[in-house]
């Protein structure tokens, strides 16, 4: 058993410099968990960045294979934490054991996938060989590769204590890119953060990597977060969280003397468009599948389907009746934190008091505390379009059915959409072809467009795009999940007439990296 | 001969709605050129964006081959403008005929290179085939491709009236990406802008593309520029110009309710590092080559080498003597505009009055007007590091030799550098290996790193990276020259379980596009 000390991990040492402390709560019982954590000081945050900065300069001389070994070792060491990690995460999130174990598998799988991509690269480097005889001017040898940006700050996310937190996708892709990392742990699951940091420290030691490659600070104050994203030696930020906090941090990064990229995932309602013929033929199964998807993780997935878009046509009545029935049978669920439960309940109250909305059904009543009930509402498309606040994500098990009068209004609705991580369109091939303009207009707002599938479940694979126009992402040209996530933390560099002895391995003639050679 | 009317090109029509006019001047003679141009109104700018917005929705249904045909047709039509274009550009920029003809060749070559890349794509799309039997959950078919962002605003640049202006790299890559374009012409060469716009209009007509795919407005006021970058239907901006103007426009794009990418190239001093042994052995040829490079285009290339970094060691005396000699023999030259000449002369006066600097030499005296003389100065590295304003680009034929005491100070200087488009390091292979840490530190600040070559001359090729940390670029993860420039104007989209009938050509199984298939 690892002793939880509540300290920060800076340059390979567990340290604390303040007396201020905080604790985490068990959302299932509302009890305080039996650990105490230190609130980082400004000096702690500075030390963490200095450590990452020094380590970055050493990391440059490590090979892709050495970075891959580190990622694989982190995965192994996370698994070696065993039951202690599972129980800590359960105590801090109220997520069930199977979910935590599944998320651990996803986290380790993701680390290993990035390692595998380093060993078996899939994206090409480009080589233009010299043409010394070219007229009127000779052409130099030039080779395009990627270099890491530098120290990266990663914020742990409340809804994925493993897969989007300490050793989650942002950390894994930053390390894969060759960047050093400073994690700001999420204050709702600090013990989970500390345990995973232990695993990373062990992996660093085993792999003989620079100790400052990974640093972790815990804090409940906004000051440390703001300090980290403004630090001149920090070169990029990864964030998954609320639009409110994300906007503040993003603004700080853009107002720096030299702006840095802020890769923020801030919210998405993931609209589900059901075409009229499909609604007429499959109303019942569509409604049941919608509810099953929106209840996954009690609606706390970033891809939870919060909007359904239909027309006032055959099947609608049956769809709404089935939806009402399924929602009313939904059990109450415990949310990740009391704050999240309170925000959800406040948003639902606002919807209940909105005269434009019809309340379709509620699930089983909650027992207060961190619990909440499922909910579904309907609204006309014209009322929805007239009230932009209805586009804001309700984080939790709530669906809003938007009812359009006709094709034209469905198209108008699609064009009014804010940015989304995903959208789905349900229809037969023939019906989809009839609605090709609608499909194109929906695509304009999303990072991932699905057909006849629900959005929950984000594959870690080469073709994944987890991002989309704002507020789904603050950087829609990048993804936070999948192989391409590494590109967030590198930039291209052209190396011209570089002596072979100095060339990085991947751009040498005949390297195993896929090469486009001219 | 095409009649220059001074009007804007909006949705395929030549229009004007104001009485306000402006003219261009011939920098060689300071005479007013014989054409009058209309200053766009806010309505004109709005109409141009509306036209581009409508055209964009039609453009989505055009194939890559159709976009390639448009790019090729634009190149042909620019060539068909013949002598009229060359003479207009010469009258508005004072650039010599051979330079304008060369730049026309580069511009048309660039358009054709993007067309070729559309027909013979080099970057992979990623396909994950479905695994319906996978345990514990099936995997869906997903395919990653890129989609265009939407209407793009392009600002013409003063120093490349063809290659970085109306049909330059930004326009070519935006059209290649499938975006529509609104060009804001540079007020120093409006006749050149109008002629090239004619060529683009002809190409659009010949290729039967939507008329609003390309729009052009002329203006001398900042209001139109500011309005364009803030317009909600504009989705990205391409800009090459001064740091002052670029910063203002970039800030406006970031303060929009939904920020958009601003691809700005704002300035670079392109430091030339000469290692001690190299300086000792090749001082004379290094100095002569430096002067030849910095005099190209009278120092008005974005990659003009404005800084030389040496140590106070063997060969320095000879280097400085040869440099002084070569500079003193440099003829005066005409700059692109009177404003550029005035700014250059003001900056040189500041350097002359700076007590930390030693004036090495001036070239032949200018005759006033738009002319300027070449200049070279030296400064100690410690004085340079202590005066951050010395890092600002002096746009024109001016070089500053930074003299370091030793290796350590050269390393300190490298770490103090702001972002650069390019840097060069001169040394034998053995000496370069001895300075590998220095090389790595220099790489941290640049988009293109050269060895034993001067930076002027930017190839349009697959491996080019024309960008770099701020202020070289406001988007260092992208390039404004070369095949990858197209990526600025697209974003990835994952298409999941998409019926084959709806799939875009490049992600269909067996498409000719290079595919990474899992």
Res. B513 pLDDT band, cuts 50 70 90: confident
With CA atoms as reference, the chain A residue closest to B424 would be A496
User: How many CB atoms are closer than 10 A to CB B1?
Assistant: 7
DSSP B176: H
Q: Where are the beta strands (DSSP E) in A33-122?
A: 37-38
Residue B518 has pLDDT above 80, yes or no: no
Q: Which residues of A touch B502 (CB under 8 A)?
A: 429, 432-433, 436, 439, 451
What φ, ψ does residue A500 adopt, rounded to 5°? Answer: -55, -40
Cα–Cα dist B250/B64, whole Å: 30
C-beta atoms of A447 and B492 within 8 A:
yes
Residue ranges of E strands in A303-453: 307-311, 333-334, 358-362, 371-372, 375-380, 398-404, 420-426, 446-451
Token pair in block for residue B78: 């620019």
Give the per-residue pLDDT at A512.
72
In this complex, the residue of B127, B484, B494 whose CB is nearest that of residue A447 is B494
CB neighbourhood size of A516 (10 A): 17
Percent of chain B with pLDDT over 90: 94
pLDDT for the residue numbered B430? 97
Longest dimension (CA), chain A: 81
* Predicted local confidence at residue B136, as pLDDT: 84
Chain centroid, CA B352 distance in Å: 30
Q: Which two tokens stand for residue A54?
A: 């020094």
- Beta pairing, strands B490-496 & B371-372: unpaired
Q: With H, G, I as helix, E, B as strand and everything else as coil, classify residue B113.
A: helix
pLDDT at residue A136, rounded to an integer:
83
Using the predicted structure, report yes or no on whether residue B229 has a pLDDT greater than 80. yes
For chain B, the structural domain boundaries read 32-266+475-507, 272-451
Q: Mean of the per-residue pLDDT values for chain B? A: 96
Which residues of chain A lie closer than 8 angstroms to B484, CB-CB? 126, 144, 492
B385-409, pLDDT tens digit by residue?
999 999 999 999 999 999 999 999 9
CB contact under 8 A, B254 and A254: yes
Q: Which residues of B are catalytic?
A: 265, 302
For residue A511, the model assigns a pLDDT of 82
Among A179, A207, A302, A370, the active-site one is A302
Second-level CATH architecture of A272-451: 3-Layer(aba) Sandwich (3.40)
Chain A with chain B: Cβ pairs closer than 8 A: 202
Which of A179, A215, A207, A233 has its CA nearest to residue A11?
A215
Q: Quick count: other Cβ atoms within 10 Å of Cβ A190?
A: 27
Chain A residues whose beta carbon lies within 8 Å of the beta carbon of residue B60: 440
User: B32-266+475-507: which CATH architecture?
Assistant: 3-Layer(aba) Sandwich (3.40)
Spell out which residues of chain B touch residue A482, defining contact as CB-CB under 8 Å. Answer: 144
Alpha-carbon separation of residue B355 from A197, B32, B166, B359 (angstroms):
53, 40, 43, 10
Residue B512 has pLDDT above 80, yes or no: no
Give ipTM to 2 decimals: 0.97
Per the CB < 8 Å rule, is A139 touching B459?
Answer: yes
Residue B307, strand partner residues: B400
pLDDT digits (tens, 9 = 90+) for B306-347: 999 999 999 999 999 999 999 999 999 999 999 999 999 999
pLDDT-derived band at B214, boundaries 50, 70, 90: very high
Is B493 an interface residue toward A (CB < 8 Å)? yes
Please state, in angstroms and as integers, the Cα–Cα distance from residue B319 to each residue in A59, A65, A299, B274, B285, following that order.
37, 44, 70, 11, 9
In terms of DSSP H, where are the helices of A186-315?
190-207, 222-230, 243-254, 276-295
CA distances from A502 to A56, B45, B310 (A): 19, 50, 21
Segment (H or E) for B143: strand B142-148
Q: Kindly indicate the confidence band of residue B189, based on its pLDDT and cuts at 50, 70 and 90.
A: very high
Q: Which of B:342-361 have CB within 8 Å of A?
A: none
Stretches in chain A below the pLDDT threshold 70:
none
Nearest to B298 by CA among B336, B243, B246: B336
Say whether pLDDT at B187 is over 90: yes
Residue with tokens 């040496």: B310
How close does chain A come to B143, measured CA to CA in Å? 5
Q: Which candidate from A127, A474, A499 shows the least CB-CB separation from B463? A: A127
Closest partner CB to B493 (pick from A433, A436, A443): A443
Query: What SS3 class is residue A217?
Result: strand
Element spanning B380, H or E: strand B375-380
> B193 vs chain A: nearest CA distance in angstroms?
27
Query: Which residues 6+ apart lie within 8 Å of B108 measured at CB?
Result: B75, B76, B78, B79
- B424 phi and psi angles, rounded to 5 deg: -125, 150
Q: Residue A37: which residues within 8 A CB-CB, separation 6 or more?
A: A6, A21, A22, A23, A24, A187, A190, A191, A194, A218
CATH of domain A9-266+475-507: 3.40.605.10
Produce one character per residue of B92-102: b if its CB has 16 or more CB atoms within 10 Å, e if not.
bbbbeeeebbb
Q: Looking at A103, A194, A265, A393, which residue is catalytic?
A: A265
Find residues 74-93 of chain A whose CB sits inside 8 Å of chain B: none
Integer-rounded Cα Rg, in Å, for chain B is 24
CB atoms within 10 A of CB B60: 17
| Integer Cα distance of A295 and A297 in angstroms | 6
What residues 414-453 of chain B have any CB closer than 8 A to a CB of chain A?
419, 429, 432-433, 436, 439-441, 443-444, 446-453
pLDDT at A513: 73
Which residues of B are less than 8 Å from A433 in CB distance? 501-502
Q: Is A147 on the interface with B (CB under 8 A)?
A: yes
**pLDDT on residue B376:** 98
């Amino acid at each position: 058993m690892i002793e939880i000390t509540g300290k920060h991990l800076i340059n390979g040492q567990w340290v604390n410099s303040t007396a201020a402390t905080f604790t985490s709560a068990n959302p299932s019982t509302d009890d305080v968990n039996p650990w105490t954590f230190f609130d980082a000081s400004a000096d702690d945050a500075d030390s963490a960045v200095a450590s990452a900065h020094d380590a970055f300069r050493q990391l440059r001389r490590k090979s892709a294979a050495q970075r891959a070994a580190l990622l694989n070792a982190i995965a192994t060491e996370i698994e070696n934490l065993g039951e202690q990690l599972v129980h800590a995460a359960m105590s801090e999130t109220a997520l069930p054991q199977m979910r935590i174990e599944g998320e651990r598998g996803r986290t380790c799988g993701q680390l290993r996938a990035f390692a595998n991509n380093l060993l078996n690269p899939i994206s090409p480097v480009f080589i233009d060989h010299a043409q010394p005889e070219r007229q009127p001017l000779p052409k130099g040898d030039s080779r395009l590769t990627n270099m890491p940006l530098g120290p990266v700050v990663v914020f742990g996310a409340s809804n994925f204590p493993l897969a989007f937190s300490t050793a989650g996708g942002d950390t894994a892709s930053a390390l894969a890119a060759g960047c050093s990392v400073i994690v700001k742990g999420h204050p709702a699951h600090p013990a989970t953060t500390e345990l995973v940091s232990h695993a990373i420290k062990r992996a660093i030691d085993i792999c003989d990597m620079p100790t400052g490659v990974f640093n972790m600070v815990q804090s409940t104050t906004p000051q440390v977060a703001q300090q980290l994203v403004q630090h001149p030696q920090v070169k990029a930020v990864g964030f998954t969280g609320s639009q409110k906090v994300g906007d503040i941090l993003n603004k700080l990064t853009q107002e720096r003397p030299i702006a840095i990229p802020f890769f923020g995932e801030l919210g998405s309602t993931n609209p589900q468009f059901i075409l009229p013929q499909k609604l007429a033929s499959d109303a019942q199964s569509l409604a049941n599948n919608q509810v099953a998807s929106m209840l996954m993780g009690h609606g706390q997935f970033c891809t939870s389907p919060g909007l359904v878009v239909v027309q006032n046509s055959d099947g609608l009545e049956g769809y709404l009746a089935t939806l009402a029935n399924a929602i009313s049978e939904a059990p109450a669920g415990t949310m990740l934190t009391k704050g999240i439960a309170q925000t959800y309940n406040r948003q639902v109250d606002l919807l209940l008091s909105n005269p434009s909305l019809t309340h379709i059904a509620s699930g089983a009543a909650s027992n207060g505390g961190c619990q909440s009930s499922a909910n579904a509402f309907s609204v006309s498309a014209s009322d929805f379009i007239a009230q932009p606040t209805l586009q804001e994500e309700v984080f939790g098990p709530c669906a809003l059915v938007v009812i359009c009068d006709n094709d034209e209004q469905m198209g108008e609705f699609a064009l009014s959409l804010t940015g989304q991580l995903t959208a789905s369109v349900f229809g037969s091939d023939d019906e989809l072809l009839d609605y090709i303009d609608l499909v194109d207009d929906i695509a304009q707002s999303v990072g991932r467009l699905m057909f006849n599938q629900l959005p929950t479940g984000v594959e870690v694979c080469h073709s994944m795009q987890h991002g989309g126009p704002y507020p789904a992402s603050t950087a829609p040209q990048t993804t936070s999940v999948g192989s391409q996530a590494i590109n967030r933390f590198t930039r291209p560099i052209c190396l011209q007439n570089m002596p072979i002895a100095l060339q990085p391995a991947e751009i040498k003639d005949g390297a195993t990296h896929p090469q486009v050679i001219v």
